Amino acid sequence: MKIAVLPGDGIGPEVINEAVKVLKRVCTLKGHKLELEYGVVGACAIDECGDPYPEKTHKICMEADAVLFGAIGHPKYDNDPNAKVRPEQGLLKMRKSLGLYANIRPVNTYKSLLYKSPLRSDLVEGADFVCVRELTGGLYFGKPQGRSEDGNTAYDTCVYTREEVERIVKLSYLYAQKRRKKLTLVDKANILATSRMWRQITKEISADFPDVETEYLYVDNAAMRMIQNPRSFDVMVTENMFGDILTDEASVISGSMGLLPSASVGLHTSLFEPIHGSYPQAAGKNIANPMAAILSVAMMFETAFDMMEEGKMIRDAVEKAISDGIVTEDLTTEKSYSTTEVGDYVVSQL
């Protein structure tokens, strides 16, 4: 197994360090040969070579079987409106260069942490669904994009092709077939031409998956129902910007963004990352929650290598740590543990 490791910025290096410890332990236990190669991305890459996703990092990713990624972002760029190069451009470039067209985010709850959710326990208990977000099209990449010469008008263009929609909808149906056989397309087809095309293509593809129930929800309705009845979802698929917003909304259901992993899959090397950001305020303090990064390793075993047993080993170890109260400060009001202590405990449970 050849893994590209991109720790990135902020708390990225800290949580990825714990994820790598878990990865190494599982490989030792199961007899897998492991090769790691590290690369820079984001603000640290700008500081090093002026490019948030340098060619040497891309080469490492293309030659790997999978990419384990931390986080991108730094306050010095957030607070500078005139910055010509930003860390986040590295993330967009990486997704485009690797052909990562689908971001897959599982959302579920842990019984011992139901009290941490801002929603009532009876609403979130048993919630278990997957959000599939399109990554390479839509407003974030559409042209033209920019501002008028006087700066008083700004414009973005939402563009999708049939090929982009077909490939992610088909992928989502395949996920639904492996789960509870229900797919929800989230769009704004009453307003947007691109959404009407998404809905048309989904209806065409649904004929090939008669065993899967298909429903169509406007994005505003979906956002409301995610709070009212999160258990009603199984697999949700949507375009780039809607997915960006809805997946962050979904992340609070579990009680902490520090618990949710994600996978980005596509044409080349798949990438696995925690959904949280770089959280610069916590960087260097050894307080960040490493669980999402560790669970991203579980997703990597399952998705990139079809090693379901290895993934389950990691999930069981994480669940044991949570039930034993070995968690970081974001998950408890009582005694908390450091990033490294949580990582070491998960390794010990393996």
pLDDT above 80 for 207: yes
Active site members: 140, 188, 220, 244, 248
Q: What is the pLDDT of residues 91-119, one digit of tens each?
A: 889 988 999 999 999 998 888 888 888 88
Q: Which two tokens stand for residue 285?
A: 């303090």
Residues 6+ away with beta carbon under 8 Å from 344:
21
Residue 14 sits at the vertex; the CA angle it makes with 12 and 15, to the nearest 5 degrees, is 70
Identify the bridge partners of residue 69 per DSSP, sorted by sequence position.
6
Residues 6+ away with beta carbon under 8 Å from 164:
101, 134, 136, 137
Structural domains in the chain, sorted by start: 1-100+261-350 (3.40.718.10), 118-254 (3.40.718.10)
For 168, counting Cβ atoms within 10 Å of its Cβ (0-12 exposed, 13-18 middle, 19+ buried), the class is: buried
Contact indicator for 298, 80 with CB cutoff of 8 Å = no
Q: What is the pLDDT of residues 239-285, one digit of tens each?
A: 999 999 999 899 889 877 788 899 999 889 999 999 888 999 999 99
**Average pLDDT over the chain, rounded to whole?**
94
SS3 content of the chain, % helix, strand, coil (to 5): 50, 20, 30
Residue in 108, 21, 14, 3 with CA at minimum distance from that of residue 346: 21
pLDDT above 80 for 81: no
Record the pTM. Answer: 0.85
